[in-house]
Amino acid sequence: MNLPEYRNEPFGDITGAERRPTMQRALRHIHGQLGASYPLIIDGERITTDDQLLSLCPAEPTKVVGKVSKASSALALRAVEVAHARFAQWRRVPVEDRVRIVLRAAALMRRRKEELAAWLVYEVSKSWIEADADVAEAIDFCEYYARQALRHQATLQPLFTWPGESNKLSYIPLGAGLAIPPWNFPLAITTGLVIAPMVVGNTLVLKPSSAAPVIAAKLVEILEEAGMPPGVVNYLPGSGAAVGDLLVDHPLTRFISFTGSKEVGLRIHERASIRQPGQLWIKRTVLEMGGKDAIIVDESADLQAAAAGIVAAAFGFQGQKCSACSRAIIVASVYDTMVERIAERAHALLLGNPTAPETFMGAVVDKAAFTKISDYIALGQEEGRLVFGGEVVDHELLKDGGYFISPTVFADIAPDARLAQEEIFGPVLAIIKADDFEHALAIANNTEYGLTGGVYSNHFAHIARAYEEFHVGNLYINRKCTGALVGVQPFGGFNMSGTDSKAGGPDYVGLFTQAKVVTEKL
């Protein structure tokens, strides 16, 4: 099967004159679909339950994006059993046929790019630019993992020869697994967690985030339209308490791929390690669990570029990215200048309803996030000096009731302060003063996480030290620490940031396979 060389899906200018009318039409079209009901999908069957969760628009929580049926424990058990049963057929489908389904799904996403972006605007309050990038990344995951599956499974791996024997090494799929994506990249990451195991022959139960279940339903609809057989991916919304533990614990669950908080990831890892009655395997966990990411700026850096990169990484999508810059570590000689420039750039950011093309920051995802971030802002008043922002908008008083929080910058934060150690997952930046580059590097490494990091410097020795000593899975030199591209910057981190599984990398699909050697005497 010959495919064109992989290339990343272009972002384009979604707010420009060429695409703006298309996006505006898409927003109007999707607005007319808000409030629809979405059933569970098990073995291709649509199942409606009386117990429903409401997906609300964060910028206008009175708007219901969708009414989604919630799974009971009995339905969760059925979904796992269906996925296990369907694995027997799906694993035998030639890899080329599985790839064709995935590539058709990518083509459907490409044709509906603005429509999918509009869903992201409404369901998780992404700006147009952020939503467009999310859709592009989902397309990239389809295209990239399709090609990696062909490379991984279509050819036998080379082995040394031995007289009188034929020895062959191949990779076979694991079985029925569980995908638990987050709400912050509800199309891109969900697509990646589904496509990678599916394209190499596994079946899945997809338990979407309760904050973003509608866009996950749209993904499953696209896969079905692309030709995915029933039961290969089963759509199972539900709370973690009601069905999450049951799905993780089930003896037929072979693997769990998860992106989300450290606390939940560790809970999954712990529960998955316990052998259940009738369980024949050690469950495999693929975990990405967040970060406390830092950008270092030294005295040789381009300070304008550094300020721009820090602000973009700290406040893009309201800081709700595991890769977001939540710490800016600045050497003393340029500290005051950088604090001033960061504050100036934060002041220029436009906060508002993301349905408007000029909006840079929308609302945070829900009331729980709003309350948590508000508490951290109150803590910041005690731990540092408020430089900009700090306004926690009382959503009850707003016209649309949105969960809006201004970009907030605190300076003079101690390296061991809670604001410098704990993942906030919101638009709050802690600026920390370092004596010199060596001190800055020590501060950067002084957390339990190790996901992304950045260094702005024109000092060769400093850059070389960062290469060797900045302990993160993704390190960026003289650019922001967000925006990893599939196939270009494989993504995943160290320590409590997860299993460093490198999503979008050449080894990722292999995590959902196991090696088998066959020796035949000639």
222 and 125 fall within a common domain: yes
pLDDT in tens, 11-30: 888 988 889 999 999 999 99
Mean pLDDT value across residues 106-120 = 98
Establish if 378 belongs to a structural domain.
yes
Q: Looking at beta carbons, which pairs linking 13-16 to residues 24 or more positions away fall under 8 Å? A: 14/114, 14/117, 14/128, 14/129, 14/131, 14/132, 14/357, 15/128, 15/129, 15/357, 15/358
- Tokens linked to 505: 């990398």
Helix (H, G, I), strand (E, B) or coil at 41: strand
185 and 70 fall within a common domain: yes
143 and 218 fall within a common domain: yes
194 and 309 fall within a common domain: no
- Tokens linked to 383: 């731990």
Establish if 3 belongs to a structural domain.
no
Q: What is the pTM of this model?
A: 0.96
* pLDDT over 70 at 400, yes or no: no
* Residue 514, pLDDT score: 96
Contact (CB, 8 A) for 413 and 432: yes
CA distance 39 to 83: 18
Establish if 492 belongs to a structural domain.
no
Its domain, for residue 508, covers: 20-289+501-521
Residue 353: closest CA among 31, 128, 78: 128
102 and 45 fall within a common domain: yes
Contact (CB, 8 A) for 178 and 244: no
pLDDT in tens, 159-185: 899 999 999 999 999 999 999 999 999
- Give the DSSP per-residue string, 386-417: EEE---B--TTTSSS----B--EEEES--TTS
Confidence of residue 397 (pLDDT cuts 50, 70, 90): very low
176 and 49 fall within a common domain: yes
223 and 265 fall within a common domain: yes
* Residue 157, pLDDT score: 66
Residue 285: closest CA among 250, 258, 322, 267: 258
371 and 354 fall within a common domain: yes
pLDDT in tens, 477-488: 999 999 999 999
* Residue 279, pLDDT score: 97
CA distance 292 to 218: 32
Establish if 247 belongs to a structural domain.
yes
270 and 318 fall within a common domain: no
CA distance 408 to 346: 8
* pLDDT over 50 at 62, yes or no: yes
Establish if 14 belongs to a structural domain.
no
Domain count, the chain: 2
Helix (H, G, I), strand (E, B) or coil at 221: helix
The pLDDT mean for the chain works out to 96
Cα 23 to Cα 66, 140, 354, 389, 429: the distances in Å are 20, 21, 12, 30, 31
* pLDDT over 60 at 423, yes or no: yes
194 and 54 fall within a common domain: yes
CA distance 349 to 354: 13
* Residue 15, pLDDT score: 87
CA distance 497 to 132: 26
**At 486, phi and psi to the nearest 5?**
-60, 130
273 and 301 fall within a common domain: no
Establish if 5 belongs to a structural domain.
no
In the beta sheet, which residues pair with residue 286? 257
* Residue 401, pLDDT score: 81
Contact (CB, 8 A) for 256 and 178: yes
170: CATH = 3.40.605.10
Query: What residues contact residue 138 under an 8 Å CB cut-off, 6+ apart?
Result: 109, 116, 187, 188, 190, 191, 192, 219
Active site residue 165: no
* pLDDT over 50 at 115, yes or no: yes
- Which candidate in 288, 358, 391, 448 is catalytic? 288
As a whole number of angstroms, the longest Cα–Cα distance in the chain is: 81
Cα 175 to Cα 17, 70, 287, 495: the distances in Å are 48, 25, 18, 28
In the block, tokens 């099967």 appear at 1
CA distance 290 to 490: 15
302: CATH = 3.40.309.10
pLDDT in tens, 280-329: 999 999 999 999 999 999 999 999 999 999 999 999 999 999 999 999 99
Establish if 494 belongs to a structural domain.
no
192 and 260 fall within a common domain: yes
CA distance 255 to 461: 43
Establish if 11 belongs to a structural domain.
no
Helix (H, G, I), strand (E, B) or coil at 122: helix
Query: What residues contact residue 268 under an 8 Å CB cut-off, 6+ apart?
Result: 180, 248, 256, 258, 285, 287
pLDDT in tens, 438-488: 999 999 999 999 999 999 999 999 999 999 999 999 999 999 999 999 999
